[in-house]
Amino acid sequence: MPAPAPEPGAGRAGGPEALARRLAGYLDDPHLLHRALAHRSYCAEAPGEESNERLEFLGDAVLGLVATEELYRAHPDLPEGDLARMRAAIVSTGTLAQAAAELGVGDAVLLGRGEEASGGRSKASILADALEALIGATYLAGGLAPARALVLDLLGERLAAAPRDAAALGDAKNRLQELAARLGLEPPSYCVEDEGPDHAKRFRASVAVGGRVVGHGEGRSKKAAERAAADEGLAVLAAGERA
Interhelix angle 30-37/124-142, rounded to 10 degrees, is 160
Instruction: Reply yes or no on whether 60 is catalytic.
Output: yes
Instruction: Exactly one of 60, 70, 129, 231 is catalytic; name it.
Output: 60
Instruction: Reply yes or no on whether 171 is catalytic.
Output: no
Give CA–CA dist 134/99, Å, rounded. Answer: 12
Give CA–CA dist 164/50, Å, rounded. Answer: 40
Instruction: Exactly one of 115, 132, 226, 231 is catalytic; name it.
Output: 132
| Phi then psi dihedrals of residue 29, to 5 deg | -95, 110
Q: What angle do CA 14, 19, 23 make, to 5 degrees?
A: 155
Q: Which residues participate in catalysis according to the annotation? A: 60, 132
